[in-house]
Amino acid sequence: MPLTNISRWILYAVLLLACLPAQARIFTFTAIPDVDETRLIERFTQVAEYLSQQLAIEVRYLPVKSYPAAVTAFRNNQVQLAWFGGLTGVQARRLLPGSKAIAQGEEDQYFKSYFIAHSSTGLTLAEQLPAGIKGMTFSFGSKSSTSGRLMPEFYLRQQFQQTPEQLFSRVGFSGNHSRTIALVQSGAYQLGAVNYKAWEQQLRDGSINPNRVSVIWTTPAYPDYQWTVRGDVDAEWGQGFTEQLTRALLAMKDPALLDAFPRSAFVSASNADYTAILETAKAIGLID
């Protein structure tokens, strides 16, 4: 019977696939794409070399594009360490119990977002968002960005007791901070919310025209980016590996390496530092 033959071969193939030995893992990390993606690979490859020296094992950097893809790679053990944003870190640690936030940037302890506006709105820097923003058009950054979406939305809801869709005539998701700035500067959207570091970097680069777009409000401080490691790395790379890794991250002092993030230094962090982010995400309905 030819059919039985075929099914037998399929069975063999499936068994063969299932029995393929898992190869020895190379310690791999990723970073969510955020600021200055174009030189991401180059810069993070240097970070991989640094970690490899410090830990005396092979370390590889896996470039990842989208936020959910970064979280998925972490959960699927394709990467064991990740430089996550506040929200993506919370999502990852919820999906993979046992994983730990181990270090954050000096600046991430008190991160903030800027609300920016096109000059035609006539808005200027103020202590509070003016009621006049109702009915304007507004752009967030990426949907899962802490500084470009989660916290700005949280403060909008807190002040106006409305969802962004109720508050504004149109709400867009530009994809990242640089696009938000370009769209607000061109007046395509009247308002936007961006990561303050991204704004300041572009201000230095000269790609922002202060006559066209300006900061109208700064959010209160909140915790953001952090290094998160899988809970099972000690089992694979030996007792105490997590501590060793944490020490290596905290000891990173070379400005060329720190520029990849860009941060001035790393300090230690724990899951508890991000409880506020988790609660905010729940309040907004991004996490059940």
| Integer CA distances (angstroms), 258 to 27, 46, 254, 267, in order | 20, 10, 6, 12
Residues 111 and 224 sit within 8 Å (Cβ to Cβ): yes
In the shown chain, the binding pattern of residues 185 to 204 toward other proteins, with x for contact by CB under 8 A and - for none, equals xxxxx---------------
Residues 211 and 178 sit within 8 Å (Cβ to Cβ): no
Q: SS3 sequence, 137-191? A: EEEECCCCCHHHHHHHHHHHHHHHCCCHHHHCCEEEECCCHHHHHHHHHCCCCCE
Which residue, 147, 246, 227, is CA-closest to 193? Answer: 147
Number of residues that bind other proteins (CB under 8 A): 58
Of 182, 194, 216, 269, the residue at the interface with other proteins (CB under 8 A) is 182
State yes or no: residue 60 binds other proteins (CB under 8 A).
Answer: no
**Minimum distance from CB of 192 to other proteins (Å)?**
12
Which residue, 61, 54, 16, is CA-closest to 244? Answer: 54
| Integer CA distances (angstroms), 223 to 76, 100, 146, in order | 26, 15, 9
Of 5, 38, 161, 239, the residue at the interface with other proteins (CB under 8 A) is 38
State yes or no: residue 1 binds other proteins (CB under 8 A).
Answer: no
Of 171, 250, 276, 283, the residue at the interface with other proteins (CB under 8 A) is 171
State yes or no: residue 75 binds other proteins (CB under 8 A).
Answer: yes
State yes or no: residue 282 binds other proteins (CB under 8 A).
Answer: no
Interacting residues with other proteins between 88 and 127 (CB under 8 A): 91, 95, 118-120
Residues of this chain that bind other proteins (CB under 8 A): 17-18, 20-23, 33, 36-38, 40-41, 62-69, 71-73, 75-78, 91, 95, 118-120, 137, 139, 143-144, 170-176, 178-179, 182-183, 185-189, 207, 209, 212, 286-288
